[in-house]
Every structure is written in structure tokens, then in C-alpha cells.
Amino acid sequence: MEALLKRLHIEPVNQGLSTGANWHKSQGKTIDSFSPIDGAKLGSVAGANRDDYERVMQKATEAFEVWKRVPAPQRGEVVRQIGLALREHKEDLGRLVSLEMGKIYQEGLGEVQEMIDICDFAVGQARLLNGYTMQSERPHHRLYDQYHPLGVVGVITSFNFPVAVWAWNSMIAAIAGDVVVWKPSSKTPLCAVAVQKIINKVLKENQVPEGVFNLIIGSSSEFGDAMLADKRIPLVSLTGSTRVGKHASAIVGARLGKTIMELGGNNALIVSQHADLNMAIPAIVFGAVGTAGQRCTSTRRVIIHESIYDKVKVALLDAYRQVGSKIGNPLDENTLVGPLIDTGSVKAFTHAIDAVQKEGGRVLYGGEVLSNGNYSSNNYVVPALVEAENHYSIVQEETFAPIVYLIKYTTIDEAIALNNGVPQGLSSAIFTLNMREAEQFLSGVGSDCGIANVNSGTSGAEIGGAFGGEKETGGGRESGSDAWKAYMRRQTNTINYGEALPLAQGIQFNF
Ligand code: UN1
């Protein structure tokens, strides 16, 4: 562990304030980082306070004036080099993600791969950032739209993807000509420090102005609301719970700022009687227990056709028994389920297990908290398989832990209604070989989620697609497709290259 931290330039005590290549002293409370694996202290970070925030914002605002003037492909070149630096550090950073957040090493590597992928995507996009050309109704007129840099983007990320979500936002923001102020989760500060140190060198070598890539680690109570209320930040991109998102949206909305909200999911996977179960079962297991159920896209509900319900139940029980023997240290390559992030999450897990039983649910497997021997950090739980009904209040909530609810259905219409019958709308999936069902699920009267998949699980989205969801998930889209547009300001341009001044809509205004 020490060698790893050293290679990533993590010290026992780290600064938590950077404006790019440079690090600065900060005056807030110190934040300690403990590994959820065994509770060991990994290091600490000097947190920032309100004054530190102000200093960073000043740098960011100044830097925007320079960065927005750099041609987008040149901004892309910096992002390309960040991608190369991430490739060099993929194993180490993936390992640190495991160590500080608790996901298994394979998933830690996958997370860094997402960062690399979005860099590649952004590099190409930097030569596009293109608007449409439309046809004008007036002679000798050209009508088109174009996209300009927006300003300072506030990026607030969660513990569960402690490095990738920064990349999805920042790499796109950077090519768009924006500057970023990143406030990572206080639960995973060292991952943020490591990322910033990886990019430090690239920024220095390319003489990227200080203030383009900022990092500010600190508690939300110190400067969180100030950041949300700050008119100098035209766009806030926030990943977190629906509760936090509602609070943040209200503050940003009050000043008519823009947001990209990536909030809770309550993702369902429908298993039709026409499903290939050899595909559906592994998709459910990965979706439900992967990252110990701590992905926004984790499978939380499995909606199963009544004719195959028992068969699916037996297959899942069998799979869960196998997984049950693979709970442990996420750095051990046999492990499939690591710890939850902290005992608060363990409490939410046990609370949900109690609540669902009170409402009439039946725990088929798991639900226990492990505490002896290797589990002495008290952060380990046995993933739970629970029979429940969709309307139970606990099923309507997102519990950020490995609990999956099995629900029965009779008709495809009913299955879709169940899929949609929750407040959240992030990810969804159907397993079926029946073309009619698949198309209905994807149609305008099908899944109401931002992500809807056929024969592919709810979690593990690629960066090439726009990522996000509807309803209480917040409506934001980040990452691929044309999500970059949210990071830019759109301008509609009309050019008259004629000698007359015709008005639109044929209006005559003679004087
Ligand atoms: C999240 O949980 O915040 O689709 C993001 C996935 C990942 C991203 C999850 N690519 O599971």
C-alpha cells in the first residue's frame, strides 16, 4: 500500500487545493481518509474553507478568459495527453480506487478505463462542437447555430465513481473551452488528489493556465451552498442522491443557473418468458452485486414473468450462493463483492432489509452484516435477494446497497408499468428475444428511463452514450452523444448578405 501511495505521490498529509499544476495551502478542517476494506487510515487532506473557495474562483474566472481563446483542437490536445497519462497510471489509480472506495480491482480498472475512453471521445469531439445550418425564409440570408464556451463549470462528484465522473464532465468541459472547479466527495479525497497529480505534469508541460482544472476538497458545509449560489458558475454538474440534488437544484435554480443533475436510480430489469436466461442471470447478478450495489445504475428490481418466476428465482439463489463465498477484500482477485463505503451505508442496508420484511417482503438470501476476522471494519454485507412488491415504500426508494427485489408480472404492459412505477428514471433493461416486446419497451410508451437496454443489463454504460435519467434522477445528461452541448452556450446567428432588409414573417415596417 505504501509503495502504491508513493507512486501516486500521495503523502500522509496532502494539500486539497489545486488550480492546475500548483497546489495551495488551505484553511479548512482536515479530512482523513480511511479504507472501507479494513478501516486503516490511508492519509489525510487539508480541507478548504470559504476563503479558499474564493481564491480558486478568482483563478478560475481569470483562466476562462484565456482558455476560451485557445482553439478547441488545441484544448483537445491537452485532453489527449491527459488520456495518455491516465493510461500510464491505470493500474495504480484503479488500485487506489479499490483501496479508498472499496470496489473490486477489476471495477477500479474499469473506472479508469472510462476516463481514458472519455478523453479519446473528447479529443475527436474537439474538432466538431458543431451546430446546424438552417434554411432562412429570407433571400440572401444565412441562418445557423454555433456553440461557444460557457464559463466556470462546478463539478460535484460522489464517492462511488470517485474519478470517472470528474473525467466525464471535465474532459468535455475542457474541450468546450470551459474551466472546471471540482469538488469531490469527502469520502474519497485521495482519489481526487491522485488524479490531480496525474494531470499536473501534463498541464505544466503544455502551459495550461492555472485555473483551468481546479480541485477543491472540503466539506459541503464550508462552501457547498456558496458554490451553488455563485453566479460566476453558469453550470453545476452534480452526481449524488435525490435529496442532495433537490437541495442543490433549488439554489442553482433560484439564480436561473444551469444544472446537470445525476441523481438516484431505482433500476429495473425485466425478465420475459422469452428471455435467454444464460444472459439474463449474469446480467442481474453483475447489476445487483457489482460495486456492492453502489452504482446509480445498479439493478434494484427484477421484474419476472410469472411462468418462469420460480426458475429464475432458483437460478439467482444458486448464483447468490456462489457470490456469497466471494465477499471480501476488493484487491483479492477472487473477490466479487467488496465492502460498502462506510457504516452509514451498512445501516441503510439493514434498515431496508427490516423495512421490506415489515411490509410483507421475504428475504430469500443474504441481508446479514459480516463483522468477524477479515470483516472487522464492519462494512461488509451479504448481498440480499428479496421477494417484494413494487408499491412497498422501501422498494420505491433507492437504497445504495446490494439489495435486489424480485417482482412477478403477467403481461408486458404490466411489466413496463412496474418498471416505470417508481419516482426515479435512470436505467432499465429487458431480457427478451421477442421483437415486439423489445420494441415496445424502447418505444414512447415503453420505459420512461434515460437508459433503456435490450439483452444488456442496467449498469455498465459505455461513455459514448449520453448518461443520465428522468424524473427524480434529475434530467441531466453527461458524457457521450451530444451531451457536450450542455457545457456550451448556444448562439443562433442570422447573416444578411443582401442589400435589402426583409423582416421575418413578411412583416412590413415602412417609415
Ligand atoms: C454512477 O453510478 O454514478 O453505467 C455511474 C455504469 C457506469 C457509470 C455509473 N458506467 O454503471
CA distance 246 to 237: 13
**333-342: per-residue pLDDT in tens?**
999 999 999 9
Q: Which of 112, 459, 462, 479 to mutate to test the pocket of ligand 1 (most atoms within 8 A of CB)?
A: 459
Tell which residue, 48, 257, 86, 262, has the closest CA to residue 158: 262
C-alpha cell, 32: 482523513
For ligand 1, atom 3, the nearest C-alpha belongs to 296
478 is annotated as an active-site residue: no
CA distance 176 to 482: 12
Q: What is the DSSP letter of 209?
A: P
C-alpha cell, 481: 452523444
Return the pLDDT at 1: 87
Choosing from 262, 397, 398, 472, which is the catalytic residue? 262
Q: What is the DSSP letter of 489?
A: E
The three-class DSSP label of residue 247 is helix
Strands of the 141-149 sheet, one edge to the other: 133-134, 141-149, 488-496
Question: At a CB cut-off of 8 Å and minimum separation 6, what does 393 contact?
Answer: 355, 359
Atom of ligand 1 nearest to the CA of 158: 3
Atom of ligand 1 nearest to the CA of 114: 10
CA distance 30 to 366: 37
164 Cα–ligand 1 center, Å: 9
117 Cα–ligand 1 center, Å: 14
CA distance 221 to 50: 10
C-alpha cell, 57: 474562483
**183-220: per-residue pLDDT in tens?**
999 999 999 999 999 999 999 999 999 999 999 999 99
Length of the chain: 511
Atom of ligand 1 nearest to the CA of 463: 10
287 Cα–ligand 1 center, Å: 10
Q: Are strands 267-271 and 13-15 parallel, antiparallel or unpaired?
A: unpaired
Atom of ligand 1 nearest to the CA of 461: 4
262 is annotated as an active-site residue: yes
Please, what's the largest Cα pairwise distance for the chain? Answer: 90
The three-class DSSP label of residue 258 is strand
DSSP string, 364-418: EE--PEE-SGGGTTS-EE--EEEE--TTSTTTTS--SSSEEEEEEESSHHHHHHH
The separation between the first and the last C-alpha atoms of the chain, rounded to the nearest angstrom, is: 81
171 Cα–ligand 1 center, Å: 17
DSSP string, 180-199: EEEE--TTSHHHHHHHHHHH
161 Cα–ligand 1 center, Å: 7
Atom of ligand 1 nearest to the CA of 451: 4
173 Cα–ligand 1 center, Å: 19
Q: Which of 121, 161, 267 to mutate to test the pocket of ligand 1 (most atoms within 8 A of CB)?
A: 161
**145-158: per-residue pLDDT in tens?**
999 999 999 999 99
Choosing from 296, 437, 449, 478, which is the catalytic residue? 296
**Residue 476 amino acid letter:** G
Q: Which of 117, 185, 296 to mutate to test the pocket of ligand 1 (most atoms within 8 A of CB)?
A: 296
Q: Which of 260, 467, 477, 478 to mutate to test the pocket of ligand 1 (most atoms within 8 A of CB)?
A: 467
Q: Which residues of the chain have pLDDT under 50?
A: none
For ligand 1, atom 6, the nearest C-alpha belongs to 460
C-alpha cell, 179: 474551466
User: Ligand 1 site: residues with CB under 6 angstroms?
Assistant: 114, 160-161, 239, 295-297, 459-461
407 Cα–ligand 1 center, Å: 24
